[in-house]
Amino acid sequence: MLLLRAVLLILVLPSHGEGTTEGPGVLPPLSKGACAGWMAGVPGHPGYNGAPGRDGRDGTPGEKGEKGDPGLVGPKGDAGETGVPGVEGPRGFPGIPGRKGEAGESAYVYRSAFSVGLETRVTIPNVPIRFTKIFYNQQNHYDGTTGKFHCNIPGLYYFSYHITVYLKDVKVSLYKKDKAVLFTYDQYQDKNLDQASGSVLLHLEKGDEVWLQVYGDGEQNGLYADNVNDSTFTGFLLYHDTY
């Protein structure tokens, strides 16, 4: 410990003596004329900053700022008073018609019936079969030029057909309004006469058409008729609509 203090004293003492005699800023004044031949002295230290000046005058007011964002929506107000009733609306649509009255003493008789047959073999598929041998067609509701029955009286109708099959199979359909509703298929047996038949009840509206037609690829068109073997198509009104 003592040794350390002694070392410290030796180190401090020389620097203290130097500061008192040759420190900067305490140079002794020099006489005029004595400068000649002297070396320039060490530059002095820069001075301290002066005290801050007083506040300046207020500046002119700045330009007006941009408009701020809108404020929040306020609470909902109270409901207003009931308004004056509006003008009466336009007249409504007519109601559903009432039911038809009871039929009186009828002067009109509802009649619709036909019964027709083939005169020759049928060869053309996918078109109405034309039955041109007329057994009955009093009201002319069946058209022999088109092969179609045309409904004039809405109601329930009965249709039937009895086809003689010869040389080929028969695939035949009863059509109603461009849609096949009844299908009959008979496979022809060699050296034989076969029969194919069908019957159905159909409700028809005025203007509906009903006819027979070969369906399939056209190979099953063995509908046959001669003087002593008939193929027939029959239809008649069973009940007319009463509404």
Ligand X SMILES: *[C@@H]1O[C@H](CO)[C@@H](O)[C@H](O)[C@H]1NC(C)=O
Q: Is 211 in the site for ligand X (CB under 6 A)?
A: no
Minimum Å gap between C-beta 158 and Ca ion is 25
Q: How many CB atoms lie within 10 A of CB 176?
A: 21
Neighbours of 210 (CB within 10 A): 24
User: Which partner, Ca ion, ligand X, none, binds residue 226 by CB below 5 to 8 Å per kind?
Assistant: ligand X
Using CB distances below 5 to 8 A depending on partner kind, what does residue 142 bind out of Ca ion, ligand X, none? none
**Does 107 sit near ligand X (CB under 6 A)?**
no
Stretch that binds ligand X, among 11-19, 77-85, 204-212, 223-231 (CB under 6 A): 223-231
Residue 242, contacted partner among Ca ion, ligand X, none, CB below 5-8 A by kind: none
Q: Is 228 in the site for ligand X (CB under 6 A)?
A: yes
Give the C-alpha separation, 170 to 188, whole Å: 7
Instruction: Kindly state whether residue 186 participates in binding Ca ion, applying the rule CB under 5 A.
Output: yes
**What's 35's DSSP letter?**
T
- Which token pair is 1? 């410990």
Count how many residues are written for the chain. 243
Can you read off the two tokens belonging to residue 58? 């207020």
Q: State the virtual CA torsion across 166, 167, 172, 178 in degrees, nearest 10.
A: -120
Is residue 229 within the footprint of ligand X (CB under 6 A)? yes
* Tokens of residue 15, six digits: 């620097």
Q: What are phi and psi of 233, to 5 degrees?
A: -135, 125
Options 226, 238, 240, 241; binder of ligand X; rule CB under 6 A: 226
Residues 188-217 that bind Ca ion (CB under 5 A): 194
3-state secondary structure of 5: helix
Is 170 among the residues that bind Ca ion (CB under 5 A)?
A: no
Chain residues binding ligand X by CB under 6 A are 166, 193, 226, 228-229
Chain residues binding Ca ion by CB under 5 A are 186-187, 194
